[in-house]
A and B are shown apart, each in its own frame.
Chain A
Amino acid sequence: MSVTETGESEALDPTRSPVAGHKDVSAHTPVPAVNPSPRRGAAPRASDSRSGVKLAKIGRAGDRTFLGVSAGSGALIVLLVVFVGVFLLVLALPSLLDNKANFLTSQEWKVSGSELRFGIAGLLWTTVLSSVVAMAVAVPIAIGVALFITQYAPRRVAGPLAFLVDLLAAVPSVVFGLWGIAVLGPRLVPVSEWLSTHLGFIPLFAPGIRSPGTVFVVAIVLAIMILPIVTAISRDVFMQTPRDHMEAALALGATRWETIRTAVLPYGRSGVISASMLGLGRALGETIAVMIILSKPADNAGFVPSLFAGGETFASKIANNAQEFDTPSKTGAYIASGLVLFIVTFAVNAVARVIAERGHAKS
């Protein structure tokens, strides 16, 4: 059809694109019977004596409003993330430029006095170590509890148990911190000692301090703190396992555990991974409990990468020193470390996304 065709034959041809003249478009895209843009509609022509059918005008106000609102909210989120990132970067940049130590590899932290020397290596290590150990402890337990609640427990046990786990999420982190240092920590000291005498040749388990304020205790407390969220999400995805899949396994003569392995776990895989990453993200940023438990090494003490040493995480370091934010250069140093925490958390979430997506693509 040519570009110069008359309106009449356009109206007669139901497959003709309403976007008049765009030959390519009309040739390749299936054209909806109803004109999507009411303002440009062929309605007047439809009343032409020779044309066949009268098409109603369809109101699209709802669509447009909803599109506007949802696109607006989406843009707002993106803006917020960018804004926070830019804010951190702008405030941190001057201090980073003045920094005499290597920001990424140094474990020093001297921000008062004439010379700025600070690096995040120690903070990064302690933060990641405590969170990863917390995740490694919490995830298997969470999966076990979620499977027990959804697959094994009779209903009258499952309900209360699920409630109990949810209740754990309601305990404030300051209470977890107190409990960790006063109750759990002292009881874990013998465990730490046993591990460091028997596995001390591995740097991770090297003997550290004798107090309960170790990375190990922090990791266990963090594990308890992220347990509810990981359990709740895992429970939800396991619960949604399609009956079809489970019956397929059962009908083949699968035992309960085999049904879980062939139907429930594959279905829940990506959900559990997302849940774990969410938990990891929470553990990375947890502040108050870590601050209460973890004992701060003396300024001149060397850095010990052991689970049984004290230390500081990004969050606890910033919180511990909040009252010191008096000069822009000092503040900038802390903000720079905050920026790294932001990036790490962001990366963790991105990785979670990718893994979850890949799980979907496969299934």
Chain B
Amino acid sequence: MAKRIDVTDVDIFYGAFHAVADVSMTVEPRTVTAFIGPSGCGKSTLLRTLNRMHEVIPGAHVQGSVELDGTNLYAPGVDPVAVRRVVGMVFQRPNPFPSMSIFDNVASGLRLNGVKNKKVLSEAVERSLVAANLWNEVKDRLGKAGIGLSGGQQQRLCIARAIAVEPQVLLMDEPCSALDPISTLAIEDLIGELKEKYTVVIVTHNMQQAARVSDQTAFFNLAAQGKPGKLIEIGSTEKIFSNPDQKATEDYITGRFG
């Protein structure tokens, strides 16, 4: 299922504002890649171009190519809706659908794909909730509202919702930043399990988290406010954290840098 991502010469804009410049990278299937860097350097922006969510903002556009196993997601004629059905996303703030039950939240993606069969749905819901380490906590109240859960449970619900459709890639934008340490650990463990099946890209401000969960780390930085963010260095997490090529990377990782 997992797919390889090739980002080539990508420039990202919000209207006239050049937010991210000239990024190229490769993400191997069944790996976890972490994006790190100071606030405003364009990590979320780049992540959102990987499933064409960037362009839902009025005026936002992208140049360059993002290939999923050789298929350019930005080729003319590619439907962004179809892209988002194979590249799932988990947001910084848990965002279950408030009007839906736990079950319906997890089933929502499948229903969008036209799955109606009750049995298929309930099997998929159980499988996804088990995979998201949430099943035991909610199995007796699947009919209750999704927003009645705790923050950490809601985030795992959102992960279950994202993986219920069996995407090829899973994007996570600071999925633990609103969570307590125990929920954070639960989600980190989960990421470790998810990479057996999916290609995972995660944005995080937590160096230890990047070091714990990722195989590959990309460091972004921006020269100055108002200048575009750039990819400074990408490499195996081990190398980036022990012996980076760039001084800026080392400064950032060791905390000598804002």
Question: Does B42 belong to the interface (CB within 8 Å)?
Answer: no
Question: Does B203 belong to the interface (CB within 8 Å)?
Answer: no
A267 touches B109 (CB 8 A): no
Q: Which chain B residues in 55-85 approach chain A with CB under 8 Å?
A: 56, 58, 81-85
Question: Does B112 belong to the interface (CB within 8 Å)?
Answer: yes
When distances are taken between beta carbons in the complex, the residues of chain B under 8 Å from A297 are none
A250-B84, A251-B51, A254-B112 as given contacts; A263 in contact with B89, CB under 8 Å:
no
Q: Which chain A residues in 189-225 approach chain B with CB under 8 Å?
A: none
How far apart sit A363 and B98, CA to CA, in the bound complex (Å)?
5
Question: Does B149 belong to the interface (CB within 8 Å)?
Answer: no
CB-contact partner of B99 in A242, A253, A267, under 8 A: A267
**Interface range on chain A: under 10, 10 to 19, 20 to 34, or 35 or more?**
20 to 34
Question: Closest chain A residue to B164 by CB distance?
Answer: A252
When distances are taken between beta carbons in the complex, the residues of chain A under 8 Å from B230 are none
A155-B58, A267-B98, A267-B99 as given contacts; A248 in contact with B84, CB under 8 Å:
no
Question: Closest chain A residue to B99 by CB distance?
Answer: A266
A-B contact pairs, 20 of them (CB 8 A): A244-B91, A244-B93, A245-B98, A248-B95, A250-B56, A251-B84, A251-B162, A252-B85, A252-B112, A253-B82, A253-B86, A253-B165, A254-B81, A254-B112, A262-B97, A262-B108, A263-B97, A266-B97, A266-B100, A267-B99
Q: Which chain A residues in 250-271 approach chain B with CB under 8 Å?
A: 250-255, 258, 262-263, 266-267, 269
How far apart sit A253 and B161, CA to CA, in the bound complex (Å)?
12
B95 touches A247 (CB 8 A): yes
When distances are taken between beta carbons in the complex, the residues of chain B under 8 Å from A263 are 97
Question: Does A40 belong to the interface (CB within 8 Å)?
Answer: no
When distances are taken between beta carbons in the complex, the residues of chain A under 8 Å from B53 are 247, 250-251
B165 touches A248 (CB 8 A): no
How far apart sit A314 and B87, CA to CA, in the bound complex (Å)?
60
Question: Does A28 belong to the interface (CB within 8 Å)?
Answer: no
Residues on B lying within 8 angstroms of A by beta carbon are: 51, 53, 56, 58, 81-86, 88-89, 91, 93, 95-100, 108-109, 112-113, 145, 147, 158, 161-162, 165
Q: How far is the CB of A235 from chain B (nearest CB, A)?
A: 18
CB-contact partner of A252 in B58, B93, B109, under 8 A: B109
Question: Does A64 belong to the interface (CB within 8 Å)?
Answer: no
When distances are taken between beta carbons in the complex, the residues of chain B under 8 Å from A250 are 53, 56, 84
Question: Closest chain A residue to B58 by CB distance?
Answer: A155
CB-contact partner of B98 in A247, A258, A266, under 8 A: A266
How far apart sit A249 and B98, CA to CA, in the bound complex (Å)?
12
When distances are taken between beta carbons in the complex, the residues of chain B under 8 Å from A267 are 98-99
Question: What total count of A-B pairs have CB within 8 Å?
Answer: 71
How far apart sit A362 and B101, CA to CA, in the bound complex (Å)?
10
B84 touches A252 (CB 8 A): yes
A252 touches B108 (CB 8 A): yes
11 more A-B contacts (CB under 8 A) besides A247-B91, A262-B112, A266-B98? A242-B95, A244-B93, A248-B96, A248-B97, A252-B162, A252-B165, A253-B86, A253-B112, A253-B113, A253-B165, A262-B97
How far apart sit A74 and B101, CA to CA, in the bound complex (Å)?
37
How far apart sit A263 and B93, CA to CA, in the bound complex (Å)?
16
When distances are taken between beta carbons in the complex, the residues of chain A under 8 Å from B109 are 252-253
Residues on A lying within 8 angstroms of B by beta carbon are: 155, 242, 244-245, 247-255, 258, 262-263, 266-267, 269, 362-363
Q: How far is the CB of B202 from chain A (nearest CB, A)?
A: 15
B56 touches A247 (CB 8 A): yes
A255 touches B91 (CB 8 A): no
How far apart sit A249 and B88, CA to CA, in the bound complex (Å)?
11
How far apart sit A263 and B112, CA to CA, in the bound complex (Å)?
13
How far apart sit A245 and B99, CA to CA, in the bound complex (Å)?
10
When distances are taken between beta carbons in the complex, the residues of chain A under 8 Å from B96 are 248
When distances are taken between beta carbons in the complex, the residues of chain A under 8 Å from B89 are 251
Q: How far is the CB of B28 from chain A (nearest CB, A)?
A: 23
When distances are taken between beta carbons in the complex, the residues of chain B under 8 Å from A248 are 91, 95-97, 158, 161
How far apart sit A247 and B91, CA to CA, in the bound complex (Å)?
9
A253 touches B93 (CB 8 A): no
CB-contact partner of B81 in A242, A244, A247, A255, under 8 A: A255
When distances are taken between beta carbons in the complex, the residues of chain A under 8 Å from B158 are 248
When distances are taken between beta carbons in the complex, the residues of chain A under 8 Å from B88 are 251-252
Q: How far is the CB of A243 from chain B (nearest CB, A)?
A: 9
Question: Closest chain B residue to A361 by CB distance?
Answer: B145
Question: Closest chain B residue to A252 by CB distance?
Answer: B109
A362 touches B99 (CB 8 A): yes
When distances are taken between beta carbons in the complex, the residues of chain B under 8 Å from A362 are 99, 145
How far apart sit A262 and B161, CA to CA, in the bound complex (Å)?
14
How far apart sit A155 and B145, CA to CA, in the bound complex (Å)?
35
When distances are taken between beta carbons in the complex, the residues of chain A under 8 Å from B100 are 262, 266
A253 touches B84 (CB 8 A): yes
How far apart sit A142 and B147, CA to CA, in the bound complex (Å)?
30
Q: How far is the CB of B147 from chain A (nearest CB, A)?
A: 8
B81 touches A363 (CB 8 A): no
When distances are taken between beta carbons in the complex, the residues of chain B under 8 Å from A245 are 95, 97-98
How far apart sit A249 and B105, CA to CA, in the bound complex (Å)?
10
Question: Closest chain B residue to A254 by CB distance?
Answer: B112
A244 touches B84 (CB 8 A): no
